């Protein structure tokens, strides 16, 4: 049983991942709750909505898929839509492949890839240095439970939580994102500029005519590719560094 | 809705398969460190760029009012600036939004 540079046992790594996943799971509750309600309101049985959440584990893709399955679209259209909306995960998976340490075996990759959501990726990326498999396994647990149980709750009882509490929970995921990006942006001017560039582009795609018609899945890919490319061109990371997310 | 249960199950399976393949293939294919400096730098910046684009302006529309979301954003930026943990920042943002919406009802 190997320990990391931090001297943590596998059990400690797993528990640290588990703890870091709790805010993600909480944030997912409200989003998947809304998905459960939406699915039932469109006439999809609750158990199928739950099955979708337990096998897909993605918000935008599931919502788009729901719309398509209700109208009975062609299977090719379903496949194409899922590819476009979820393409950002390919980018994240390449990035995460460079972040994991040697404890992550091939068979672990098949499992970890399933849980590589936007938020899991974000938290894993925010860790200093490399991440190991025990941490990643722990990190995936709470989001998976939150996403599945939120869907179940949504399908069973739409009026379970007061609207005011639901509205407040909606910001949880974003609050977590802010907590991930602000400290490194404070330390590194290049990270701050990449972040600012991505935000400026996202605003343009939200508020400018024509641009605001581009679908959400594309917007994230376009903004991320442009901002990260500019960062890589104008502020390449030093050669031969054991690149570390905190430096 | 007229779609039958077997068709719904087939759609579910197709969605799950496509989503999983997109996540799994790059993660399994890229198992060695990438050497190219541009690509390394690009991948280093990707998380920040993705998070930035996903967070703002979307955070402003994540609650029932723009104003309460702005309060939540301000609270999370301030706490994150002083290095608070993920859970602290997320829960504080929720609490700030809840209080802000409660105050707005009173006004």
Peptide bond into B52 cis (omega under 30): no
Q: Is A88 on the interface with B (CB under 8 A)?
A: yes
Q: What is the pLDDT at residue A64?
A: 77
Global pTM?
A: 0.73
Task: Identify whether the C-beta of residue A69 lies closer than 8 Å to the C-beta of residue A78.
Answer: yes
Task: Identify whether the C-beta of residue A139 lies closer than 8 Å to the C-beta of residue A120.
Answer: yes
Torsion of CA A96, A91, B70, B75, to 10 degrees: 10
Task: Identify whether the C-beta of residue B22 lies closer than 8 Å to the C-beta of residue A87.
Answer: yes
Q: Nearest C-alpha of chain B: how many angstroms from A74?
A: 10
- What is the C-alpha separation between A82 and A38, in angstroms, rounded? 19
- What is the C-alpha separation between A213 and A211, in angstroms, rounded? 5
Read off the pLDDT of residues A170-189 as tens digits, 9 standing for 90 and up.
787 788 789 889 999 999 99
Q: What is the pLDDT at residue A244?
A: 47
* Most confident of the ranges A3-7, A231-235, B50-54: A231-235
Read off the pLDDT of residues A113-171 as tens digits, 9 standing for 90 and up.
999 998 999 999 999 999 999 999 999 999 999 999 999 998 886 556 677 777 787 78
Q: Nearest C-alpha of chain A: how many angstroms from B105?
A: 11
The partner residue sitting opposite A178, judged by closest CB among B16, B69, B76, is B76
Task: Identify whether the C-beta of residue B66 lies closer than 8 Å to the C-beta of residue B97.
Answer: no
Confidence of residue A2 (pLDDT cuts 50, 70, 90): very low
Torsion of CA A134, A139, A142, A147, to 10 degrees: -120
Report how far apart, in Å, the C-alpha atoms of A97 and of each of A57, A93, A130 are. Answer: 19, 6, 10
Mutation pick from A48, A165, A178 vs chain B, by most beta carbons of B within 10 Å, is: A178
Mutation pick from B22, B99, B105 vs chain A, by most beta carbons of A within 10 Å, is: B22
Instruction: Give the residue among A125, A220, A225 at the shortest CA–CA distance from A180.
Output: A125
Residues of A numbered 21-80 whose beta carbons fall under 8 angstroms of chain B's beta carbons: which are they?
22-23, 26-27, 42-45, 48, 51-52, 55-58, 61-62, 65, 68-72, 75, 78-79
Other beta carbons less than 10 A from residue A63's beta carbon: 16
Q: Is A3 on the interface with B (CB under 8 A)?
A: no
The H or E element that residue B16 is part of is helix B5-29
Reply yes or no on whether the pLDDT at A201 is more than 50: yes
Q: Where do the DSSP E strands lie in chain B?
A: none
Residues of chain A positioned with their CB less than 8 A from the CB of B91: 23, 26, 172, 175
Residues of chain B positioned with their CB less than 8 A from the CB of A215: none
């Amino acid at each position: 049983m190997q320990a990391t540079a931090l001297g943590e046992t596998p059990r400690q790594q797993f528990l640290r991942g588990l703890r870091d996943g709790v805010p993600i799971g909480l944030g997912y509750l409200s989003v998947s709750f809304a998905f459960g309600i939406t699915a039932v309101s469109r006439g999809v049985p609750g158990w199928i909505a739950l099955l979708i959440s337990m096998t897909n584990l993605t918000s935008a893709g599931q919502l788009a898929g729901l719309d398509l399955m209700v109208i009975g679209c062609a299977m090719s259209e379903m496949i194409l839509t899922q590819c476009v909306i979820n393409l950002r995960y390919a980018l994240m998976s390449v990035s995460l492949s460079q972040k994991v340490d040697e404890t992550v075996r091939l068979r672990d990759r098949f499992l970890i890839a399933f849980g590589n959501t936007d938020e899991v990726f974000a938290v894993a990326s925010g860790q200093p240095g490399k991440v190991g498999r025990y941490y990643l396994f722990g990190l995936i647990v709470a989001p998976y439970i939150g996403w599945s149980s939120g869907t179940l709750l949504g399908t069973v009882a739409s009026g379970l939580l007061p609207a005011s509490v639901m509205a407040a929970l909606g910001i949880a995921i974003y609050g977590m994102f802010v907590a991930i990006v602000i400290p490194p942006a404070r330390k590194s001017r290049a990270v701050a500029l990449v972040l600012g560039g991505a935000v400026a582009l996202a605003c343009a795609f939200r508020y400018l005519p024509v641009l605001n018609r581009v679908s959400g899945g594309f917007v994230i890919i376009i903004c991320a590719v442009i901002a990260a490319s500019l960062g890589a061109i104008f502020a390449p990371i030093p050669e031969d560094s054991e690149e570390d997310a905190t430096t | 809705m007229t779609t039958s249960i077997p068709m719904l199950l087939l759609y579910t399976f197709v969605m799950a398969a496509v989503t999983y393949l997109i996540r799994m293939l790059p993660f399994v294919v890229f198992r060695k460190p990438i050497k190219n400096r541009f690509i390394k730098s690009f991948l280093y910046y990707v998380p920040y760029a993705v998070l930035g684009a996903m967070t703002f302006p979307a955070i402003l529309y994540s609650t029932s009012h723009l104003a309460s979301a702005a309060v939540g954003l301000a609270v999370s930026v301030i706490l994150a600036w002083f290095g608070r943990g993920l859970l602290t920042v997320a829960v504080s943002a929720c609490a700030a939004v809840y209080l802000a919406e409660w105050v707005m009802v009173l006004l």
